[in-house]
Amino acid sequence: MDRLIALFGCVALLSGFAYPWDGGAAFITRLRIAMDVAGAYLFARAYLADRDALGRFAIGLAIVIIPFGLMMLYERLTATNPYRLLGGQSLVTIVRDGRIRAQGTFGTPILAGTVAAASLPFLVMLWRERRGLAIVAMVAVALAIFSSSSSGPIATAMVGAGMIYAWRWRERMGMILVWSVVGLVLLNFIKERPVWYLMALMDFVGGSTGWHRAYLIDMAIKHIDEWWAFGTNFTRHWMPYGLVSDPFNCDITNYYIQLGVTGGLALTAVLVVIQWFSFRMLGNEIIGLSSRSMRDERENFHLWCLVSALAAHAVTFLSISYFDQMHVFFWVLIGGVSGFVVPAERRIGRRFSAMQAVA
């Protein structure tokens, strides 16, 4: 995993040299992404190095999410963002189709709601030992999702909750995934439009832009010759409308495509490999714990909650690009996987054994 994160940063940085030198703007943009990802990952590798840290992280996340949900609700009810007192946030709250869309400390309401929704699997970990805290935090999550007035966070919460519910069928998950993929492939050939246009049907709050997200995938595939090598700095012609803040690009509401536009197809591929490697590490550890002792059932379930959180992020990537502090909530999870799967004492023991063997 360490090597994959290093590769991610290298690919992102190297793609910056493919653009005409304009004061280093392209390189600085990619340097910022590489530092955000590597910084969040290394922080997690240092401080989330064992299973006990996983429990502390879940408790800390629950404590943080409670005031966040309350402030989001305040913004939803009053159209005033209380976080503006800390600086960096606008006093004017976003309104769409007559609905106030709270954004809290984040750049968009969708990201604010997604942070809360993606926290749900961690709160489930606390259900047995700290049920009161878990319940209050879950209410705060619901308030934040409601206050964002966005369909994306609802879908994220549904994916996370669905994966947690699938715990009872974990031994058959491989078969379920295979048949799910087969079903999507068959559906792709049966429907007149590609299967990703199913996103256009999802509208939980009204006024959602699922069609935009599906059409964006179409355009990214159609124009793949423009960005597959080193990305591109012009995507305005992909969509019939653009961004007021950026006349050269359309709204890239897809993290996979956003990384491709930034660093080429290789950068997107590295992200997919990182996700696959994380799922494989967690899956192998869950199988190993199940075969050793029933006493490991609690730890097993906690690891399954991590799988649920990763799945929620993986699906959410199709509908929103991660930026600003949102990077932390995914890449800290990736950095923590190694510590949760291979605790520090086991890693140290292996190195000590290797040193003895060499001696």
Out of 97-106, 119-128, 315-324, least confident range: 97-106
Residue 140 is predicted with a pLDDT of: 96
Q: Which residue has the tokens 């992909």?
A: 238
pLDDT in tens, 134-183: 999 999 999 999 999 888 899 999 999 999 999 888 877 778 788 888 88
pTM: 0.89
pLDDT in tens, 277-300: 999 999 888 877 665 555 567 788
pLDDT at 351 over 70: no
Residue 92 is predicted with a pLDDT of: 65
Among residues of the chain, what percentage have pLDDT more than 70?
A: 89
Phi, psi at 95, each rounded to 5°: -130, 130
Residue 289 is predicted with a pLDDT of: 66
pLDDT at 117 over 70: yes
Q: What is the mean pLDDT of the chain?
A: 85
Rounded to the nearest angstrom, the gap between the alpha carbon of residue 315 and the centroid of all alpha carbons in its chain is 8
Residue 342 is predicted with a pLDDT of: 67
DSSP H helices in the chain: 2-15, 25-47, 51-78, 109-118, 120-125, 131-148, 151-165, 173-190, 210-222, 224-227, 255-263, 265-292, 297-316, 326-341, 344-358
> Regarding predicted confidence, which is higher, 83 or 310?
310
> What CA–CA distances, in Å, run from 262 to 24, 40, 284?
14, 19, 33
